[in-house]
Copies of this chain bind each other. A is one copy, B any other.
Amino acid sequence: MSRVRIHNFSVSLDGFGTGEGQTLEEPFGHAGTRLHQWFFPTRTFRGLGEPQDDPGGSTGVDDAFASGWDRGIGAEIMGRNKFGPQRGPWADHEWKGWWGDNPPFHTPVFVLTHHPRPPIEMEGGTTFHFVDVGPAEALRVAQEAAGGLDVRIGGGPSTVKEFLAADLVDYMHVAIVPIVLGRGERLWDGLEGLETQFDMQSANSPSGVTHLTFSRR
């Protein structure tokens, strides 16, 4: 049974999954890299780039959580703001995401947008498809593309929120980062009572991050 999963989704203490003011230089706006400092030293993050013999990196608590992100995943769904900083009709057709020629997804990736465009085939198995559909239909298409494997909801906050609100998520890993961002896009808004749908557990990391797992009851 294909599951719908969310991994490595970082939020601040005040529940922001990204900061204010996304730009080409600052994908997470004024949050900068602060929401993901726990992730960068991990072996998982170090291994995301070009294949190499030994990526190095930490293999402790943070990596234990980080490393599950691609296991058994056959497709990703992401919001347009995760794909890039452009809004409205596509002005820059050269933009192919933040991740270089060989993005770390290595599967079909469905980008939710009101401005569909032809797919972009990248190196390494990643193809970006641009679809103007709601969460249930996006999931149907992604599951078909995933060939029986799981589908990952890749973010950002509004996309994650949308799938949670539609009760389409089987598993979610959230990393609570001990910073107060103050502004940006909140994860939890509109999800009152979410805990009743999930078994939740938590674990602390020496990095200061608290990892939460949400497993559908």
Contact = CB atoms under 8 A, between A and B. Distances in A.
Interface in A1-26: 13-15
Interface in A194-216: 194-195, 200-204, 208, 210, 212
A189 interface: yes
A201 B210 contact: no
A180 interface: yes
A179 B196 CA distance: 8
A183 interface: yes
A186 interface: yes
Interface in A134-192: 176, 178-183, 186, 188-192
B202 A180 contact: no
Tell me the interface secondary structure of chain A in the complex: loop
Copies of this chain, tallied across the complex: 2
A193 interface: yes
Contact of A208 (B192, B201, B204, B208): B201
B188 A180 contact: yes
Contact of A210 (B180, B194, B202): B202
Given A14-B15, A192-B181, A202 B204 contact: yes
A202 B15 CA distance: 17
Given A13-B195, A14-B189, A179-B195, 8 more contacts: A13-B15, A178-B200, A178-B202, A180-B191, A180-B193, A182-B188, A202-B204, A202-B210
